Amino acid sequence: MTSAQSTVHTASGDISGTVEGTGVRAYRGIPYAAPPVGPLRWRPPQPAAAWTGVHDGSRFGFDPIQLNEPAARGSLAPGMSEDCLTLNVWAPASVPSGGAPVLVWFDGGGFTADSGAKIRTDGTHFAKRGAVLVTVNYRVGVFGFLAHPALTAESPQHASGNYGFLDAIAALQWVRDNIAAFGGDPKRITAFGESAGGAVVAALLISPLARGTFDQVILQSPGSFRPLSPLADAETAGLVAGSDLTAMRAMTAVELLPLNAKINPAVRGLTIPRPLRTIIDGWSIDRDEVDAFRSGTFAHVPAIVGSNAYEGGWFTANIPVRTTEKLRAYVADNYGDMVDEAWSYYGADADAAVERAVGDAFGDAQFSYGARSLAKEISKRQPKTFRYLFTHAGAHTSNPPVHSDDVIYVFGNGTFDAADQRVSDAMMAAWVQFAATGDPNGPGMPAWAPYDSGRDNYLTFGGDMTEGSGWRTKSLDFIERFYAARA
């Protein structure tokens, strides 16, 4: 073991960090790409300019432009700006001679919000366990995912949209090139994320541009495995921004931000493509996710993938369905001529049961189906594929746990009671062990068998932390049949 210095040298220049009370070194607000402003708005990320002197790594960079101010989202960023392409590194005070495993986090937020400066994703506890933890800002909303005919026309690759996704690739390449300076092992990089961040990681697996930028993946509640929007459809949706590209680039961020709501429907469709997220642009993503995974055209790296017991419960307040009549219409809108079978899984006999039915329908379609499908397809080609189900209900979770309830436990950032701490310790230990070895099993840890689609098995992170199987199998099988009928 060697003691690392608090000032490190990267390809762009020197960066000073802070040594915190735990002995962890933290480096905040590091530019990994040039500011995507002015003529660089709606262009792929460009290399960060080198600097002289020492970059102050004591403060977070700006969050990407999004609806709510940082403080309202639990972020410590000083504000929001299009100049947001920064990352943050937490590293152990002492590192092994071969370097520490590296985990790179992509935050969720429906592709319209994200932050690498959230209190709940502070990387201190990962660093205390011997890993290097990186959090990344990537462009979101119309700043990160607007496709438009004029943007496609000016692109040498004849592509538009996916700028935020290209940011993620650029960040991983920066980590590969520079993380050794912080004590990380550039040959052991795990990309991980939750929700939209999990979907970013799924897209990294299938992207020809992302090859070689990571070695393993962890996908938490990934919004994946539904059809992606083709470029032409996303371009049509992007026309709400206007037709004059020069005028569009001259618009202020304040003027552009409301376009998110004009492109995204107020109530999300469960089974239809969304244009304001990763799309099939023909360059960074050249085919539909489902086709890529089922054909084996993806990076066959070790993977952990999982979901929470009641994913959809977080979203029901924003879905205006409160009666059985409206529920029937909601199910029909999403499942068309298969509405009767869908009703057998997502129907309700009384208004009092409607909210739970909506939550089940949303959670299955948006997250649980994707998690199981990814486990099934990845495990066909990578034996080190592990599935989990987060069931813990405690001081910091709902009962049952809803979407994103797992994040605070993965990062260990809560005032936990004994039960909370036990679950958090188990998840952190598994994540770090996986990052180090490609396998989450280790001494004193719950036995976690690789995923077997025949058993449909998973490790439960909850009261018992033992193996379960067949969770919501019938309803997820139905969604699979629904998509197969439309293929």
- The residues annotated with a catalytic role in the active site are 195, 311, 403
Alpha carbons 256 and 65: distance in angstroms, whole number? 10
Give, in order, the Cα–Cα distances in Å from 452 to each of 282, 292, 303.
33, 20, 13
CA atoms within 13 A on the CB side of 388: 29
Which pLDDT tens digit goes with each residue over 217-274?
A: 999 999 999 999 999 999 999 999 999 999 999 999 999 999 999 998 878 889 989 9
Which pLDDT tens digit goes with each residue over 463-473?
A: 889 999 999 99
Which pLDDT tens digit goes with each residue over 107-131?
A: 999 999 999 999 999 999 999 999 9
Which pLDDT tens digit goes with each residue over 6-64?
A: 899 999 999 999 998 778 999 999 999 999 999 999 999 999 999 999 999 999 999 99
Per-residue pLDDT band for 334 (boundaries 50, 70, 90) equals very high
Say how many Å lie between the first and final Cα of the chain, rounded. 54
Among 187-191, 269-273, 305-309, the minimum mean pLDDT is found in 269-273
Q: 396 exposed, middle or buried (CB, 10 Å; 0-12, 13-18, 19+)?
A: buried
Three-state SS for 227? coil
CATH code reported for the domain at 2-319+356-475: 3.40.50.1820
The DSSP secondary-structure symbol of 276 reads S
Written as six digits, the tokens of 307 are 């979901």
The pLDDT value recorded for residue 269 is 86
Alpha carbons 482 and 487: distance in angstroms, whole number? 9
Domain definitions of the chain by residue range: 2-319+356-475
Written as six digits, the tokens of 474 are 């019938």
The pLDDT value recorded for residue 5 is 58
Say which amino acid occupies 14: D
The pLDDT value recorded for residue 424 is 97
Average pLDDT over the chain reads 95
The pLDDT value recorded for residue 257 is 96
Average pLDDT of the segment spanning 473-486: 95
The pLDDT value recorded for residue 3 is 47
Q: Is the pLDDT of residue 371 over 90?
A: yes
Per-residue pLDDT band for 450 (boundaries 50, 70, 90) equals very high
Give, in order, the Cα–Cα distances in Å from 431 to each of 69, 441, 482.
30, 10, 34
Among 92-96, 118-122, 302-306, 405-409, the minimum mean pLDDT is found in 92-96
How many CB atoms lie under 10 A from the CB of residue 293?
23
Give, in order, the Cα–Cα distances in Å from 413 to each of 6, 59, 193, 273.
23, 19, 16, 34
Mention every residue, 6+ apart, whose C-beta is less than 8 A from residue 146. Answer: 42, 160, 161, 163, 238, 241, 259, 263, 276
The pLDDT value recorded for residue 1 is 44
